[in-house]
Amino acid sequence: MAIVNRTPDSFFRPGLTWEDSAAMDRVHEVVAEGADIVDIGGVPAKPGSEVSPAEEIRRVAAFIAAVRAAYPELIISADTWRHEVARAACEAGADLLNDTWGGWDTGTAEVAAEFDVGLVCSHAGGLPPRTRPYRVAYPDVMADVLDTTLGLAERAVGAGVDPARVVIDPAHDFGKNTWQSLEISRRLDEMTATGWPVLIAASRKDFVGETIGADVEGRLAGTIAVTALGAWLGARIFRAHDVRQTRQALQMVAAIKGDAAPARIVRGLA
């Protein structure tokens, strides 16, 4: 799942895909690098200037329509928690609603059901959108993640979302400190054992930077480590800024597990 942010103030390389032409160039690039899904968002997760629903729609809806016209078979994801934006995105051609704020707007699931699209059910620790955790604590963080995401998945199915289109996400950093994000990483098999497809969105996040002592530009290696571990433990979708490197890491893990063959074998055979 490649990230294309229609924002001027994202945490990683802000403004890179703010302009329409730059954003479409990025879509072409990530598709060529092997992205199966393109996740398009109009509001950064971090606190900042207010972005109204109307402005969010202006940033993403027409662009989603343009991407759909350019790539009829591509899976397009809309990164939003708002039902108004979700509706506009679906009308423009989105296939998936990536609700990273844990069902804060209950209407988003109803929109997913109405348009028969997918829905990502995430754990944000009950925080309102665009807020940071402060001294957050859980008796058992993975138990809380499971209780929340499975509850959201059940609610979505109850609202009419096709169970085959529901994804769960532990949401690293959202409502969590670094220790907690590390714990959900090593216990990810508890999520994959539920049978729901699991998405991980660890790309260049703060818990990676705090763990390896790196700023956002230096977090690729740490991100790839989390990606490889998540793949080994059974995650299915990987939200990434660095598509080519992520695909290569996933290919390597799949070959080690015996789920895929190497691209080319000549060593010791000639």
Q: pLDDT tens across 21-34, in order?
A: 999 999 999 999 99
Q: At what angle do helices 53-70 and 83-92 cross, to 10 degrees?
A: 20
pLDDT at 216 (0 to 100): 97
Query: How is the chain split into domains, by residue range?
Result: 2-257
DSSP single-letter state for residue 132: -
pLDDT value of residue 11: 86
Residue 199 pairs in a beta bridge with 237
Confidence band for 13, pLDDT divided at 50, 70 and 90: confident
Q: Rounded CA gap, 58 and 226, in Å?
A: 34
Q: List 118's β-bridge partners, or say none.
A: 96
Q: What is the pTM of this model?
A: 0.96
CA dist 148 → 141, 162, 228 (Å) = 11, 19, 25
Residue 246 contacts residue 252 (beta carbons within 8 Å): no
Q: Report whether 241 contacts 12 (CB < 8 A).
A: yes
Q: What is the mean pLDDT of residues 196-215?
A: 98
Q: Phi and psi of 11, rounded to 5°?
A: -70, -25
Measured CA to CA, the distance from residue 135 to residue 97 in angstroms comes to 29
Superfamily of the domain at 2-257: Dihydropteroate synthase-like (3.20.20.20)
Give me the residues paired with residue 5 across strands.
41
> pLDDT digit string (tens) for 122-161?
999 999 999 999 999 999 999 999 999 999 999 999 999 9
CB 174 within 8 A of CB 122: yes
- Going by the DSSP 8-state scheme, the letter that residue 99 receives in this structure is E
